[in-house]
Structure 1
Amino acid sequence: MHFALQIPLILFLLFPIHSSLFAQVDPDNIEIVRDQWGVPHIYGKTDKETAFGLAWAHSEDNFKTIQETFLPAINKLGSHLGKDGATFDYIVQALRCREVAESQFSNLSKGVVLVIEGYLEGINAYAKAHPDEVLIKSSFPMSMMDYLTGYNMVIHFFSDSGEILRDLLGDNVEPNDSLFKENVSDKTIGSNAFMIRKEKTEDNKTYFNINTHQPLEGAFSWYEAHVVSDEGWNMLGSLFPGSPFPLIGTNEHLGWTHTFNYPDLIDVYQLEMHPKKKNVYRFDGEWKTLETSKAKLKVKLFWGMKLSAKKKLYWSVHGPVFKNKSGYFAFHSNAMENISSIDQWYQMNKSTNFEEFKTALKMCVLPRFNVAYADREDNIFIISGGRIPIRTGDYDWAGVLPGNTSKTITSGYHAMEDFPQILNPSHGYLFNTNNSPFNVAHPDDNVKESDYDPTLGYREQANNRSTRFMELIDQYPTINYEEFQRIKYDQQYPDSILCPFQLNEVFDLDPNKYPHIKDLIVLIQSWDRKANIENTAAAQWSILFKKLVARTKEEGLYHATSLPEELLIEEIEGTQKYLLKHFKRIDITLADHQKHTRGDKEVPISGLIDMIAATNSTPIKHGQAKATSGESYIMLIRYSEEEVEIETVLPFGESNHPESPHYQDQMEMYVNHTRKKMTLDKETIYREAVKVYHPREE
């Protein structure tokens, strides 16, 4: 899928460099070691050299997506994708991403600048060596500021700017609308992290489940890589296109992952405009004029034709300004002064113990995220943080703020100690499934929400995954690795299914009142809430659920505490019609309906939305649905004093090229809930290598 269609979900980086700042990388100092699954293990003398090798290896597997990721930074996605791409070219200019990159560059450490430089030397070298793969000929070589401009745009979307822009530009904001910010219950995908200490495991090892739920393909899908240097870097994990290192995973000492959290990251302001003068607004008793400029855009049409266009941009003391039917609105995001999160991720990569990792966390420049952590010393830890403004004054910070006073302008951001966090809880486990940061452990170990600043604005509550995890973990006073895996791959809803609207009323219908759909009602009501591929009610439930989501949104009932019975019956009738049309019967299995597909390979896949092992699917052909997100990169780790045992799997494989043997080679493992063994040991990696080469070698 195109980058432009996936931007609301993510975490990924963009591109290139001031090559005059440092010495050029010598590719002869770098070795790319491909294992039997095509995973690149990259060895360099320095971190910079290793980043060069990562750029080359990832480009070999998916250069197209990397390019589509960075093109908005240089105002060229519209030239490649047309109108959809031009939207993001516009956003980069509207949010002044380049100005932020230029003003914040000096805050980056020399170490991370060297790594970015090495990565971008590698990507530019690959583009030069493979000109036929370059999408826009004038896009190479790229500069450091181009890279950081694109990176800043990405941070905006991880800071909720995408949701704000959607509503402001879509006339969905009413004056003083306290419900304006996104409702977390609307979210249909997420991530999981489970950590269990030795005291609770039967083999005296620390267990860690790294399990993000991302799109399975495209710019927000994971790429697995192992980066090693003589400067103390030895990190195996996954990254998004354009990242110069893994963003989650493990080194030989410790590991971490992220799950999305939902604090209040952005402040939105309604401006008081002058009744007569154009583009003039009141602020602290004075009238100020909006700064104006124009975004310059080029949009691909057809037959190679391109349309040039300009769009007005406005800026206030609060930030970018957008006009809609309700008035003039501005917003402020932490991304308007932040590119340093790339530095924090790098410092996390290089940490060798919890204290060093904690020092990296104290930078507090990640835009958001729960950070879940475990290590060989049996520490487990979780924190729900982000770049969250310090807010004072008696205002409804969750709503639209008055823009005519400096009293609603925040100053500074919360420090690490301000966030809910737990280290080594007494009951021996931590978890997060995008649920509340105040329910991530045994009830006796959780922190109290009342002890934290309410303007942090956490919106998460319980979800089906958190409810189900608590049901399962309570069954095990101690746990072995097989039981841990059973929890990780659980595909069953709790008895009362959680949903933005009340859907459990389906189970209370009287089938005898509706003889024409009685059999389907009985089948659904007898469902065991499981989603194995042989299940004969899971597909029916999935089809009905999607119909109910569409209908409740259409009729404004998406957050209703009760649904009219006639609505439920109409959608069950629609479900039966759908089943009979496509399958000629109602008792199909989930395997008949839901598929995991890539190229010419198609296999049944289990799981449903918001299960612990989730599968989210979209309709394709003949009544079937294709898995598009949910379980993505999976890494299971067992830490002990002697070793780090690692198992991983991707939904498809390392390569995005259909002709590659690694285009589909992990699909069977993925659907069968198995994984490949991985290692950080250099001797083993070289002994079992399939290919060893220097970048630039053909």
Structure 2
Amino acid sequence: MIWVKRGAFALVGVLVLAVVGLASWEPFFASAANAPGQGRVYSAEIIRDDFGVPHIYGKTDADTAYGVAIAHAEDDFFTLQDVVAMARGRYGAIAGEDGARVDYVYHLIDARGTAEREYPKLPADTRALFEAYAAGLNQYAAKHPGEVKLANLFPVAGIDVAAGFALRQPFFFGLDSVIGPLVAGEDLRREHGPDIPGFPRDPLPVAAPAPATARQQARALVLPLGEDAEHLGSNAFAVAPQKGGGTTTLISNSHQPLRGGVAWYELVVESGEGWHFAGANFPGSPFPFLGHNEHLGWTNTVNTPDMIDVYQLEVDESGMHYRLDGEWRDLESRWVTLPVKVGPVVLPIRREVLRSVHGPVIRNDKGAFAIRYGGIGRLEQLDAYYRINKATSFEEWEAQLARLAIPSTNFIYADKTGTIAYVYNAAIPARPEGVEANWRSVLPGDRSDLIWQGAVDYAALPRIVNPASGWLYNSNNTPFTAAGSGSDLDPQAFSPVMGIELKQTNRSWRAYKLLSEARVLDRKTLEAIKYDTGYERLGYVARLFDGLETMEARGRLAEARDLLLSWDFTADGKGRADALALLVIRDFMSADYSNKPFPDVTEKLGAASDHLMTHFGRLDPPMGELLRLRQGGLDLPLDGGSDTLRASTTWDVAEDGRLSLKHGDSFIMWIEWQPGQRVTSRSVQPFGAATTRPRSPHYTDQMRLFVDHRLKPVYFWRDDLLAKASSRRTVTSAR
């Protein structure tokens, strides 16, 4: 019996060693970065205003970037670490299976390889910005070891930050809508327009539908990178002085998740080298992505041109060779280790990553499919964003956009001279005209003439400068409605091969109508438009209500149908049917945005009715009791719908049945140039400057402003800031 006991003890010892090994292998396996800025001392002054928004001053631009990292880490080091882990292919060690899916995509699209090839080619001053930012992150991590989530995550270098940009950039034009279905073996659904060659009405056949669990896994592939495409949204407005009562106005109303790696962070940067900009960035960026300087400003909305081509490869029996122009070529293959946190241990999961000359390759039951997308393998956007931060005129600003270094997103622009502009910015693939191919379908992978290089010329893109109407807008709609009747572009003037979207959103219909009807677009009128909660009975909304009118129902379902039919098409929280409409409409909007089948009206109405009866005991609770903005101990009512200009797009359903907003109106910035005066701006965040610091006074201090449709001052100018400063200190790096 002694040997049995000894054997048992030995087995326990082996198991303990195994657990210890699985709990500790990943940090040692991960490659460490060299600490940047050796011998370089950075210094920045961080002044926080009365809402805790940081204003970072440095002698050089690099000093300021260093201060940006310190200030952001003070407010949200929790999220910054997630972003750094994604940028190093280690997110699964923090977020488990969902994180490992992000890590797989990181390897699939070769984010690290892109950074290693392209980062050294960037101008020295741009690289200096990223090295300084990395130094700031490293310093904060070293001084606060108790906050670090993952061993050996720091130090990081500028190239690591750059790899994070390479990972994220293709998802803003919908790469998730291709990778997810290919992994799951689903049909691809691509946006199209009626009666235009190259825009098929049906989903593109790629593979048989997969089980629901596989579909869910595919959708989860990229969700941690940002909200999925079916819920994308943003509004942007620019008004010229002749239409705005003498004032030039730019309104930034980007819709992003309220928390996480693509949530906006507000800041003002200034340096002795002429960099002075107020706006917002995402975690992991040394500069703002939108906002204004003294001379000009811009904001962005997501656009969805056809930036992605899919090729079906002809492979041999081994599956490791593909045919191109009659010759067999080797598929590039490498194995990667994905860390997957499961409870207290991190499992090493091996996955194969494939690549052809086209781009990344995904296998499913139907074969091997290669993906090629606009901006593939490029990283110049790091430099372009830095340059437009410092532009002083429309010509300087547009010269940077003309590089097509920023792969996608609409730009709405305004400046102190009264110039306003809309640019449908996109590095659309330069597909050869006249080649026999259906670019909106799956392409044959055995023809090299279908493997395009580079992007179309900037001059080929839709663009409007100083329209006669005096206004411009975009609400994730086609660029062919942007400036009003007589000022809009003709879609027939643009090649259908470019795949420019023709879709409209309810926000677009509302904005176009309200802007066109207004005699003067002064501040009061623009506020009414920006916070508008109305729906037009058009598109998916019309189809939904047509279905309600013909729907047969009894009992409570009939009561719900009749209540919804009485709705005034306004999600202002005042009508009896607002809560029911809020619950019903979102899935129809989602299906329309992502080209999915139209939902069953009876099913969706029944589900919404059941939810309201279960949690509120009635079909008509006030919408403000249902839709909430929640953070810490604050729990406030909200207005707006899933596709209204006042956007409350998606939410988490809490145990009490309330809907806690997670995506929609987020950072709002209102910029004005008045005659003879220097630029002024106002802004608001849904929560506050310190979104993950519950003990901070700035954890929730903007929530009441946000729900009340109010904005706070932006202290762009130093003399204004010093009068409202809540703290002021200098941070310096160690030599």
TM-score (norm. length: structure 1): 0.91
Can you list the C-alpha shifts for 1:22-62, whole angstroms capped at 9, x where unaligned?
861332xx210000000000111110000011100000000
Identify the residue that residue 59 of structure 1 maps to in structure 2: 73
Find the aligned partners of 2:580 and 2:723 in 1 and give their Cα distance: 49
> Where does the alignment leave 5 or more consecutive residues of structure 2 unmatched?
1-31, 191-199, 207-226
Q: Map 1:43-192; keep pairs closer than 5 Å.
A: 43-173=57-187, 179-180=203-204, 187-192=230-235
Contact 1:161 1:266 in 2 (8 A): yes
Identify the residue that residue 212 of structure 1 maps to in structure 2: 254
SS in 2 for 1:694: strand
Identify the residue that residue 5 of structure 2 maps to in structure 1: none
Shift in alpha-carbon separation, 1:445–1:140, aligned structure 2, 3 A: same
Percent of paired sites with the same residue: 33
Aligned residues: 666
Of the candidates 381, 399, 402, which is equivalent to residue 341 of structure 1? 381
Of the candidates 312, 326, 332, which is equivalent to residue 352 of structure 2? 312
Identify the residue that residue 666 of structure 2 maps to in structure 1: 632
Can you list the C-alpha shifts for 1:327-367, whole angstroms capped at 9, x where unaligned?
11111123432111111111110001111101111121112
SS in 2 for 1:139: coil
SS in 2 for 1:502: helix
Find the aligned partners of 2:458 and 2:346 in 1 and give their Cα distance: 48
Identify the residue that residue 701 of structure 2 maps to in structure 1: 665
The amino acid across from 2:491 in the alignment is E
Give how far 1:415 is off. 2.3
Q: Does residue 32 of structure 1 match 2:68?
A: no
Q: Map 1:162-311; keep pairs closer than 5 Å.
A: 162-173=176-187, 179-180=203-204, 187-202=230-245, 204-274=246-316, 276-303=317-344, 305-311=345-351
Contact 1:501 1:558 in 2 (8 A): no
Find the aligned partners of 1:99 and 1:558 in 2 and give their Cα distance: 34
Find the aligned partners of 1:217 and 1:260 in 2 and give their Cα distance: 19
Q: CA RMSD in A?
A: 2.6
Q: Map 1:494-509; keep pairs closer than 5 Å.
A: 494=536, 496-499=537-540, 502-506=543-547, 508-509=549-550
Find the aligned partners of 1:449 and 1:636 in 2 and give their Cα distance: 31
The amino acid across from 1:284 in the alignment is D
Give how far 1:299 is off. 1.9
> Where does the alignment leave 5 or more consecutive residues of structure 1 unmatched?
1-15
Shift in alpha-carbon separation, 1:442–1:17, aligned structure 2, 3 A: farther
Give how far 1:571 is off. 4.3
| Residues 208-217 or 293-302, more deviating | 293-302
Contact 2:181 2:188 in 1 (8 A): no
| Residues 143-152 or 216-225, more deviating | 143-152
Contact 1:17 1:144 in 2 (8 A): no
| Residues 411-420 or 485-494, more deviating | 411-420
Identify the residue that residue 694 of structure 1 maps to in structure 2: 730
The amino acid across from 1:297 in the alignment is L
Contact 1:25 1:52 in 2 (8 A): no
TM-score (norm. length: structure 2): 0.86
Contact 1:192 1:433 in 2 (8 A): yes
Find the aligned partners of 2:732 and 2:655 in 1 and give their Cα distance: 43
Find the aligned partners of 1:186 and 1:268 in 2 and give their Cα distance: 18
Find the aligned partners of 1:160 and 1:549 in 2 and give their Cα distance: 17
Q: Does residue 599 of structure 1 match 2:632?
A: yes
Q: Map 1:520-669; keep pairs closer than 5 Å.
A: 520-546=560-586, 558-560=596-598, 568-569=601-602, 571-616=604-649, 617-640=651-674, 641-655=676-690, 656-669=692-705
Of the candidates 369, 374, 391, which is equivalent to residue 409 of structure 2? 369
Contact 1:185 1:499 in 2 (8 A): no
Give how far 1:94 is off. 2.1
The amino acid across from 1:646 in the alignment is S
Shift in alpha-carbon separation, 1:580–1:81, aligned structure 2, 3 A: closer
The amino acid across from 1:346 in the alignment is Y
Give how far 1:497 is off. 4.2
Identify the residue that residue 4 of structure 1 maps to in structure 2: none
The amino acid across from 2:561 in the alignment is I
Give how far 1:162 is off. 2.5
Give how far 1:377 is off. 0.4
Find the aligned partners of 1:213 and 1:604 in 2 and give their Cα distance: 19
Contact 2:579 2:620 in 1 (8 A): no
| Residues 337-346 or 95-104, more deviating | 95-104
Of the candidates 520, 523, 528, which is equivalent to residue 478 of structure 1? 520
Identify the residue that residue 394 of structure 1 maps to in structure 2: 436
Shift in alpha-carbon separation, 1:317–1:185, aligned structure 2, 3 A: closer
Find the aligned partners of 2:188 and 2:262 in 1 and give their Cα distance: 32
The amino acid across from 2:51 in the alignment is W
Give how far 1:73 is off. 2.7
Give how far 1:587 is off. 2.4
| Residues 127-136 or 647-656, more deviating | 127-136
Contact 1:18 1:144 in 2 (8 A): no
| Residues 320-329 or 86-95, more deviating | 86-95
The amino acid across from 1:596 in the alignment is L
Identify the residue that residue 195 of structure 2 maps to in structure 1: none
Find the aligned partners of 1:547 and 1:635 in 2 and give their Cα distance: 29
Find the aligned partners of 1:232 and 1:694 in 2 and give their Cα distance: 20
Contact 1:195 1:430 in 2 (8 A): yes
| Residues 229-238 or 158-167, more deviating | 158-167
The amino acid across from 1:544 in the alignment is V
Find the aligned partners of 1:211 and 1:648 in 2 and give their Cα distance: 10
The amino acid across from 1:651 in the alignment is P
Give how far 1:397 is off. 0.9
Identify the residue that residue 410 of structure 1 maps to in structure 2: 452
